[in-house]
Chain A
Amino acid sequence: MIDPAELDAKTEYYLDHPDEPLPDRTDAELLAFVDAAVRGGAPARRESDEAPAFQVGDRVTVTLDSPREHTRKARYIRGKTGVIENAHGTFIYPDSAGNGRGDDPKHVYTVKFTNAELWGPDFAEPNGVVYFDVWEPYLVPATGAAA
């Protein structure tokens, strides 16, 4: 067991003694797990019976709100409109899992935004696009026209 005060004390100790060897531990099973995880990664795809709400070609708008907890909905795409370029199936939903509430798999789509839509026609590099992967709850059907 370690509490924050002990952690601070140990940090100070290693700052004062930078050449002190780190604690050593041998655990063959743990090492095998780390080897496999580092080489193979940990896939985030999860099965779900939920039907997709959108399909390739749909025009969608990213909801314009500010979740207080973990989200992958970057600020620069909020409120922006784009077109679904690819539908990937269902994956762990970071807005659930990242906040300790389980995988709650959701559909993931690649949305294509024009630079003009993201940064405004006066400031965007012309003719460019940005592809951004989003989870379905971030999206609503588009109503207005995108830039």
Chain B
Amino acid sequence: MNGVHDLGGTDGLGPVIVEDDEPVWHAEWEKAAFALFATNFRAGLFNVDMFRHGIEQMHPAHYLLSPYYEHWMHTAEHYAVMAGV
């Protein structure tokens, strides 16, 4: 799928920001988002490659502007709604 997620070679995005003493979580909700992968994988909603593909189907502008774990929430919701959970 030719989408904005395929960023290799893209110019103009600015420097990669490296945080000093980067925390594991940047917000409380990220913990819940993190738990969605393993639990819904076990429930059979997706495999890891499908999980990635769900992220690729986000709106491209939103994909680029949203934090990492919001991508996880999007794909978990995508497959949960599809499965009628």
Q: How far is the CB of B44 from chain A (nearest CB, A)?
A: 12
**CB of A9 closer than 8 Å to a CB of B:** no
Enumerate chain A residues within 8 angstroms of B80, measured Cβ to Cβ. 2
CB-CB under 8 A for A94 and B52, given A2-B85, A7-B77, A70-B1: yes
CB under 8 Å from chain A, chain B span 8-55: 8-9, 32, 35, 38-39, 41-42, 47-50, 52-53
What class of interface size applies to chain B in its complex with A?
20 to 34
Other 5 A-B pairs with CB < 8 A, given A1-B84, A70-B53: A4-B81, A34-B38, A67-B1, A74-B6, A99-B50
**Residues of A near any B CB (own CB < 8 A):** 1-4, 7, 22, 30, 33-34, 37-38, 42, 44, 66-71, 74-77, 92, 94, 97-100, 118-119
